[in-house]
């Protein structure tokens, strides 16, 4: 654990954000299929889930391109902002007073696109600020954090 605190602050923050993001996604994501089937039916839900994956793939490609021209920090902040806005919209559309599954879908779509948009810049930043000596430890830590957050989520 003391090796973790010796890492660059950017890496520590990325690992913490990865833990939070994956924990939220793995706790809410699987239940969204059931939620959408209840309101929209199985066929529409299938198309919606595929569209989220396709949009995430495209956002990842676009985010990778823009991280070179805009800069990594700007791409990461834009992606994280999209993710936060998406989750807030999805949560707001499922209050005790108002439920709108269509806007909820848009919120989760935004969150997924934001996460995918920021991922290439985050990966590049991890390579930039790590050294050859600590890179193996960093990726082992990321592997454990992802597994732990999925288990918790």
* Spatial CA neighbour of 130 closest among 26, 18, 34, 4: 4
pLDDT at 28: 85
Query: What's the whole-number average pLDDT of the chain?
Result: 91
What does the alpha-carbon distance between residue 106 and residue 109 come to, in Å, rounded to a whole number?
5
pLDDT at 1: 62
82-99 per-position pLDDT tens digit: 999 999 999 999 888 899
What does the alpha-carbon distance between residue 150 and residue 125 come to, in Å, rounded to a whole number?
23
* Spatial CA neighbour of 8 closest among 150, 141, 147, 143: 141
* Spatial CA neighbour of 20 closest among 31, 28, 32: 28
53-71 per-position pLDDT tens digit: 999 999 999 999 999 899 9
Show the tokens assigned to 88.
Answer: 């807030």
Neighbours of 76 (CB within 10 A): 24
What does the alpha-carbon distance between residue 25 and residue 150 come to, in Å, rounded to a whole number?
8
- Domain locations in the chain as residue ranges: 2-152
CATH for 2-152 is: 1.20.1250.20
Section 15-19 average pLDDT? 91
Show the tokens assigned to 53.
Answer: 């994956």
């Amino acid at each position: 654990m003391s090796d973790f605190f010796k890492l660059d602050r950017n890496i520590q923050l990325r690992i913490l954000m990865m833990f939070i993001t994956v924990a939220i996604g793995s706790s809410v994501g699987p239940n969204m299929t059931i939620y959408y089937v209840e309101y929209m039916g199985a066929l529409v839900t299938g198309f919606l889930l595929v569209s989220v994956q396709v949009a995430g793939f495209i956002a990842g490609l676009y985010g990778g391109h823009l991280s070179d021209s805009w800069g990594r920090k700007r791409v990461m902040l834009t992606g994280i902002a999209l993710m936060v806005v998406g989750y807030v919209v999805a949560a707001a559309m499922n209050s005790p007073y108002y439920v709108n599954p269509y806007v909820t879908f848009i919120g989760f779509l935004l969150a997924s696109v934001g996460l995918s948009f920021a991922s290439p810049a985050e990966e590049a930043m991890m390579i930039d600020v790590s050294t050859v000596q600590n890179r193996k430890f960093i990726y082992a830590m990321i592997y454990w954090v992802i597994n732990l957050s999925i288990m918790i989520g």
